[in-house]
Amino acid sequence: MTSSPTPDALLGPADIRELAAALGVRPTKQRGQNFVIDANTVRRIVRTAQVRPDDVVVEVGPGLGSLTLALLEVADRVTAVEIDDVLAGALPATVTARMPERADRFALVHSDAMHVTELPGPAPTALVANLPYNVAVPVLLHMLDTFPAIERTLVMVQAEVADRLAAPPGSKVYGVPSVKANWYAEVKRAGAIGRNVFWPAPNVDSGLVSLVRRSEPPRTTASKREVFAVVDAAFAQRRKTLRAALAGWAGSAAAAEEALVAAGVSPQARGESLTVEEFARIAEHKTTQDQEKESA
């Protein structure tokens, strides 16, 4: 039986600065790096994520390892995906030094998360990450799409992005991220994170977003790609009615109106009022139109 991690296994502010200095690491805005320096915050993230002892967790952007160590305290396995050469090189040594009894349950993938298509070991059941602000949404959607075994996700992102991801139809900030995230999961805000728990302190607030995967995506004969094409077109010109916004996608305003009416959606509606299921119906009717034209 493995011994439990020592109370001081997690990284505090002095540990983070010491590690960074030893590695010559200066957090860069280009990669959206803000390291969490508060042990209570990372433990709170793990609790909010409802990480269980049987979970296989994938973490994106582990940085110096603050959250990684907190995840290893609870999860069965943790796989971290890190793009930065220096950080990727140092993290396994940090895990071994601070949590030697769990080191064999840790794996590192040195790669851009957007290019990761497979992970070592068992399939991940949870995604928990402090996502770099500049790539948070595409990384989140890529991971949910690529690893269908991920049941639960908790990500820390810029507060504004958290609001967008969790926004319901009709909200001013409801948009492409809201609809696409909802294709995969039930999405909700799961708390706020203060600026003082980061080094360097960002000039924006952060928020937690919880995503619980749907048992199945919306029922539709249209493919995900076809549905997402409608979503992208609908929000490319937010102020326009769907009849006008979808004209390019459908081939003409008349064809867009035909697909909208067939889907039970008002041609005068705007994208921010539609659910993901309604976008799926519109895509489905466009596909039917195309098939009828081909067979005519």
Per-position b or e across 130-139, b if 16+ CB within 10 A of its CB: bbbbebbbeb
Which residues in the chain belong to E strands, given as ranges?
Answer: 35-36, 56-60, 77-82, 106-110, 126-130, 152-158, 185-193, 198-199, 206-213
Question: Any residues with CB less than 8 A from the CB of 143 and at least 6 apart, and which?
Answer: 58, 60, 113, 116, 127, 150, 153
Q: Tell me the binding residues.
A: 34, 36, 61, 82, 112, 130
CB-neighbour burial class of residue 206 (10 A; exposed 0-12, middle 13-18, buried 19+)? buried
How far apart are the C-alpha atoms of 100 and 216, rounded to whole Å?
Answer: 39
CB 235 within 8 A of CB 164: no
Strand spans (E) along 18-95: 35-36, 56-60, 77-82
CA pair distance 66, 172, nearest whole angstrom: 35
CA distance 192 to 160: 11
Kind and range of the H or E element at 48?
helix 39-48
Q: Which residues are annotated as a binding site for S-adenosyl-L-methionine?
A: 34, 36, 61, 82, 112, 130
